[in-house]
């Protein structure tokens, strides 16, 4: 038996089975990468918010404006177009340097905050433009749960598919 015949025999016996099991795992890895790249950037922002809460200065802020951010989603011939609306609040605060800074955050619902409402603001005294509110910390937790749930779902589905294909 020559070396070439040995490779052909290996391919005939094992390669198809190996690829059958690896295909869903590879697809899962690709999907996890697609989810993971935005998750990486989100985690950087989350760490910054946690650092501001832990190490930053605290100031009393005031909601100065309310607006609704609209995202228009285009449909195709089977799906109509629709608009996603998310209420946002703009706040301002006075930092230790005496200057006024602003920021904004998404609200869970339109009536959550009104103009003139007080909010706590955590900020970096060296760079007060880097600031956040407890509401943004809540958003970070919810977004993290969503990302981790997606990772877990993809992992379970890919492992189940690989097992199912490997056993059949």
Q: Taking the domains of the chain in order of start, what are their residue ranges? A: 3-167
Q: Lowest-confidence range among 9-13, 62-66, 67-71, 146-150?
A: 9-13
Cα distances (Å, whole numbers) of residue 95 to 61, 82, 117, 120, 148: 10, 41, 18, 12, 35
Q: Are 88 and 112 in contact (CB under 8 A)?
A: no
Taking Cα atoms as reference points, which of 31, 22, 15 lies closest to residue 162? Answer: 22
List, in order, residues 6 or more apart from 76 with CB less than 8 Å away: none
Asked if residues 118 and 134 have their Cβ atoms less than 8 Å apart, the reply is no
Strand residue runs (E) in the chain: 57-73, 82-94, 100-106, 118-124, 127-132
From the CB of residue 59, how many other CB atoms can be counted at a distance below 10 Å?
19
- The residue count of the chain comes to 168
What pLDDT band is residue 168 in, cutting at 50, 70 and 90? low
pLDDT digits (tens, 9 = 90+) for 86-99: 888 999 999 999 99
Query: Across all residues in the chain, what is the average pLDDT?
Result: 84
- For residue 125, the model assigns a pLDDT of 94
The 10 Å CB-count burial string (b at 16+, else e) for 142-164 is ebeeebeebbeebeeebeebbee
Note the pLDDT tens digit of each residue in 4-29.
777 777 777 777 777 777 777 787 78
User: How far apart are the C-alpha atoms of 146 and 49, rounded to whole Å?
Assistant: 18
């Amino acid at each position: 038996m020559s070396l070439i015949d040995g490779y052909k025999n290996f391919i005939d016996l094992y390669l198809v089975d190996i690829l059958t099991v690896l295909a869903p795992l590879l697809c899962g890895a690709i999907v996890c990468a697609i989810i993971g790249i935005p998750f990486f950037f989100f985690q950087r922002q989350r760490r910054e918010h946690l650092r501001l809460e832990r190490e930053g200065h605290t100031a009393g802020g005031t909601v100065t404006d309310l607006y609704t951010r609209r995202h228009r989603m285009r449909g195709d011939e089977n799906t109509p177009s629709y608009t996603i609306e998310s209420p946002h609040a703009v706040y301002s605060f006075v930092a230790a340097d005496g200057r006024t800074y602003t920021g904004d955050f998404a609200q869970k619902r339109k009536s959550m905050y009104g103009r003139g409402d007080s909010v706590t603001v955590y900020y970096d005294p060296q760079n007060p433009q880097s600031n956040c509110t407890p509401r943004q910390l809540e958003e970070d937790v919810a977004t993290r749960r969503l990302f981790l749930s997606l990772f877990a779902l993809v992992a379970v589905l890919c492992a189940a598919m690989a097992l199912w294909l490997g056993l059949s």
